[in-house]
């Protein structure tokens, strides 16, 4: 196309791209740090970050350099062979987590697929063939493949795809008694997000994860953390469960793992990993040299600089500012979150606030219809946050 008219691009997209997304009427062309620009040159401060993906901001120079260098060396050879960037990332992930082994894939849904498969096979290999159920949480989100939507505790995600796969049951998040009643001799795993993202930035009660771990230990069930949205520094820890100090048996990552390149990972202990022998699971594009080169740069920055502390400071500033707005605007019911994963529940349609902010040059997000979600790059600065709060003060007023 030779024209730069936004409507022309949008019309072309609506003709040729599957209509699975309700997109906003802007065409973005470039980004840097915490800002993006549309085809007309209008700038937006980005508090969505690709839905908690670009944790280091857009086009971070070190990540960009790593990708460009690797693109000139080796992009893909499949997992029939060893590649150096993949080995480096596996070593870095295990050195900075509970895990002993890593399986690489391309997305969060694939990472959760791997977690579901390995949890079931772990017990199949032990001869416990009746132990296949996974207990998940209501309002959870784990992906849109048939297995992961079957594990997702939101009816709107599962609607239209019946029959969903058997072997999943759901309990309310934060309800330890309900969990205890539903974990039994058929349970192979408990699957949960340390903070529910799509469910409305829902935080576990103090001690909840410890009690979940205890139930799993007593019954022998495996504990799976879905850290696809919460991981890679989003909550000011490398992984969100570190706030509670409760280790899982399996953990899934994606989103920010390669700062925008498609990459997922399933991490697990040595004991669990034994269930994935050669041929049990695979991914042609999983952990290519290109994406793992990006991930290696991401991990270096997250573990060797002060980005996580910066995230904590900026997260406190954002949450504090939102709470101050709540005191002045009764429409704000609640503010909750950790680090730079913050939600503001409002009395009204969040979509209206999202659109008003976009018109003023701020990209924010809404989940569960009335929870404004703020997941900016971890490198966001105080003036970005203060400008957003000023915008919200005007919009809410």
* Phi, psi values for residue 344, rounded to 5°: -125, 110
Q: Which of 146, 216, 210, 154 is nearest to 182 (CA)?
A: 216
What token pair was written down for 224?
Answer: 């799976």
Strands 365-367, 187-192: pairing kind: unpaired
Q: Residue 253: in which H helix or E strand, if any?
A: strand 250-253
Number of C-beta neighbours around residue 244 at 10 A: 17
> Which residue in 98, 141, 276, 362 is the catalytic one?
141
Buried b (16+ CB within 10 A) or exposed e, 261-288: bbbbbbbbbeebbebbeeeebebebbbb
Tell me the CA end-to-end span of the chain in Å, nearest whole number. Answer: 42
Catalytic (active site) residue 255: yes
> Which residue in 47, 104, 226, 276 is the catalytic one?
226
Catalytic (active site) residue 168: no
> Which residue in 46, 237, 249, 255 is the catalytic one?
255
Q: Which of 146, 356, 126 is nearest to 222 (CA)?
A: 126
Task: Give the residue ranges of DSSP H helices in 5-142.
Answer: 6-16, 49-52, 61-71, 84-95, 108-125
Catalytic (active site) residue 349: no
Q: Which residues are catalytic?
A: 141, 226, 255
């Amino acid at each position: 196309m030779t024209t730069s008219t936004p409507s022309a691009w949008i019309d072309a997209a609506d003709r040729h791209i599957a209509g699975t997304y309700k997109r906003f009427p802007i065409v973005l062309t470039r980004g840097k740090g915490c800002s993006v620009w549309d085809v007309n040159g209008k700038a937006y401060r980005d508090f969505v970050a690709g839905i908690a993906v670009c944790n280091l901001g857009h086009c971070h120079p070190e990540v960009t350099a790593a990708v460009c260098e690797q693109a000139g060396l080796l992009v893909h050879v499949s997992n029939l062979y060893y590649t150096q960037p993949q080995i480096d990332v596996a070593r870095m992930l295990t050195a900075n987590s509970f895990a002993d082994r890593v399986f690489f894939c391309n997305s969060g849904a694939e990472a959760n697929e791997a977690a579901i498969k390995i949890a079931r096979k772990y017990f199949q290999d032990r001869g416990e063939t009746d132990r296949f159920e996974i207990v998940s949480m209501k309002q959870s989100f784990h992906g849109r493949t048939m297995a992961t939507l079957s594990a997702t505790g939101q009816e709107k995600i599962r609607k239209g795809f019946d029959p969903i796969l058997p072997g999943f049951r759901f309990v309310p998040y934060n309800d330890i008694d309900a969990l205890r009643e539903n974990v039994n001799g058929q349970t192979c795993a408990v699957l949960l997000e340390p903070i529910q993202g799509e469910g409305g930035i829902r935080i576990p009660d103090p001690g909840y994860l410890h009690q979940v771990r205890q139930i799993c230990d007593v019954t022998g069930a495996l504990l799976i953390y879905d850290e696809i949205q919460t991981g890679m520094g989003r909550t000011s820890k490398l992984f969100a469960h570190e706030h509670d100090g409760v280790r899982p048996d399996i953990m899934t990552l994606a989103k920010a793992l390669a700062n925008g390149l498609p990459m997922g990972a399933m991490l697990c202990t040595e004991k669990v990993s034994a269930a994935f022998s050669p041929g049990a699971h695979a991914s042609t594009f999983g952990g290519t040299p290109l994406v793992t080169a990006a991930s290696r740069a991401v991990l270096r920055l997250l573990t060797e600089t002060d980005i996580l502390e910066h995230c904590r400071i900026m997260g406190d500033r954002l949450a504090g500012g939102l709470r101050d707005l709540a005191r002045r605007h009764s429409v704000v019911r609640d503010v909750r979150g950790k680090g730079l994963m913050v939600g503001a529940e409002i009395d009204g349609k969040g979509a209206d606030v999202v659109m008003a902010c976009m018109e003023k040059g701020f990209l924010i997000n809404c989940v569960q219809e009335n929870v404004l979600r703020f997941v900016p790059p971890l490198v966001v600065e105080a003036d970005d946050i203060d400008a957003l709060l000023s915008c919200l003060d005007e919009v809410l007023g």
